[in-house]
């Protein structure tokens, strides 16, 4: 099976190198990474870092750079359009994550079943407990709790939170036939809905782990939550038409279960939500970047040693 990797980037100079190194070290079990496509709108050193890495890498890396910011939907569309027609699957990674060494293989392997069109990964927080300030601890612990809560929800079965993550695999034929509206915020949910509408199955791979760094700013955490809420509201008609809306009771029950494992996390989440009204800023598909979630290194996660 041939895999195209797609990475949308916007000012990712602190993160992109770790992701590219991780992609070189993936356990593929006979699968092949045919190419890595970076759709870039950066004004920082990101394109220079990608070009330098590509010049020495065993991977075939294609950099598509733009001088203005277009938004993630446009980046995904560009990746879909430029992915090789010989690839069977496109695996999309956020630029600030690090996939576990078998994540790419596990995501792609689900496509061996011809009925599956999209597979979502399991985003896991790489949490640093040595936060310097109280505000950092509130935001990070709230983010960790939110992640645990959503994982429980994903394990219930297909619902609107399955593809609300930082990595997924899409069957190439579906990607090639799709154009995401440029104003779409919840692009992952949009792709899940389109896949279901085309008659394919959607799967969640709990064993396909991608590591992310929790935000350390309350403002950034609230921005992430609000973006998700607005994005899901915009696609409510698709959620209801496909009958994938998770019952409120199930959401509450799983939240209570998560709180038994992490009561402090629930408290921090509640404190963060109390501040929600103070961060009601307008958002669009080109949302503000959470800078504190950048800079995750290979040495911060399991299974890697960064030899520089």
Q: Assign 3-state DSSP to the chain and report helix, strand, coil percentages, each to 5.
A: 45, 20, 35
- Tens of pLDDT, residue by residue over 252-268, are 999 999 999 999 889 98
Q: Which of 97, 94, 93 is nearest to 107 (CA)?
A: 93
User: What is the distance in angstroms between the CA of the first residue and the CA of the last residue of the chain?
Assistant: 30
Domain 2-278 falls under CATH 3.90.550.10: yes
DSSP alpha helices (H): ranges in the chain?
A: 16-24, 46-56, 72-82, 103-109, 134-154, 172-176, 187-197, 218-234, 236-241, 248-261, 263-274
Are the CB atoms for 163 and 265 separated by under 8 Å?
no
Q: What are phi and psi of 154, to 5 degrees?
A: -65, -35
Average of per-residue pLDDT values in the chain: 91
Distances from the Cα of 58 to the Cα of 9, 23, 54, 82, 152, angstroms: 21, 10, 8, 20, 38
Q: What pLDDT score was predicted for residue 269? A: 87
Distances from the Cα of 282 to the Cα of 73, 91, 219, 236, 287, angstroms: 18, 31, 13, 19, 9
Q: Is the pLDDT score of 134 beyond 70?
A: no
Which tokens is 306 given? 């960064």
Whole-number percent of the chain with pLDDT over 90: 76
Q: What pLDDT score was predicted for residue 131? A: 45
C-alpha 99/C-alpha 38 separation (Å) is 16
Q: What pLDDT score was predicted for residue 222? A: 85
* pTM for the predicted model, two decimal places: 0.94
Q: Which of 228, 176, 196, 190 is nearest to 73 (CA)?
A: 190
- Tens of pLDDT, residue by residue over 5-54, are 999 999 999 999 999 999 999 999 999 999 999 999 999 999 999 999 99
C-alpha 41/C-alpha 179 separation (Å) is 19
C-alpha 122/C-alpha 131 separation (Å) is 24
Place of tokens 């970076």: 38
Give whichever of 117-121, 140-144, 224-228 has the largest mean pLDDT.
117-121
C-alpha 23/C-alpha 58 separation (Å) is 10
- Tens of pLDDT, residue by residue over 59-78, are 999 999 999 999 999 999 99
- Tens of pLDDT, residue by residue over 286-308, are 567 788 889 999 999 988 887 76
User: Rg (Cα) of the chain, in Å, rounded?
Assistant: 18
Side-chain-side CA neighbours of residue 23 (13 Å): 33
C-alpha 136/C-alpha 204 separation (Å) is 30
Q: Is the pLDDT score of 241 beyond 50?
A: yes
């Amino acid at each position: 099976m041939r895999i195209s990797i797609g990475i949308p980037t916007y000012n990712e100079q602190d993160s992109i190198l770790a992701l590219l190194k991780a992609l070189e070290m993936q356990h593929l079990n006979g699968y092949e990474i045919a190419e890595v496509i970076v759709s870039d709108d950066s004004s920082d050193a990101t394109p220079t870092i990608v070009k330098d890495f590509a010049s020495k890498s065993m991977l075939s890396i294609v950099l598509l750079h733009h001088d203005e910011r277009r938004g993630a939907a446009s980046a995904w569309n560009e990746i879909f359009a430029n992915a090789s027609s010989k690839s069977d699957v496109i695996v999309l990674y956020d630029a600030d994550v690090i996939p576990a060494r078998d994540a790419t293989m596990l995501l792609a392997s689900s496509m061996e079943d011809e009925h599956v069109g999209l597979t979502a990964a399991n985003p896991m927080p790489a949490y640093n407990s040595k936060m310097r300030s109280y505000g950092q601890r509130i935001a990070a612990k709230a983010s960790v709790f939110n992640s645990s809560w959503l994982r429980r929800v994903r394990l219930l079965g297909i619902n609107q939170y399955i593809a609300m993550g930082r990595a997924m695999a899409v069957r190439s034929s579906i990607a090639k036939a799709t154009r995401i509206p440029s104003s779409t915020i919840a692009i992952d949910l949009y792709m899940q809905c389109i896949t279901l509408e085309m008659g394919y199955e959607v799967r969640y791979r709990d064993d396909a782990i991608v590591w992310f760094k929790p935000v350390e700013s309350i403002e950034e955490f609230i921005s992430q939550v609000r973006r998700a809420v607005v994005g899901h509201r915009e696609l409510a008609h698709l959620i209801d038409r496909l009958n994938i809306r998770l019952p409120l009771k199930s959401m509450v029950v799983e939240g209570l279960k998560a709180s038994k494992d992490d009561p402090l996390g629930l408290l921090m989440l509640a404190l963060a939500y109390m501040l929600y009204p103070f961060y009601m800023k307008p958002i669009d598909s080109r949302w503000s970047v959470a800078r504190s979630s950048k800079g995750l290194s290979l040495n911060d996660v399991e299974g890697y040693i960064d030899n520089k």
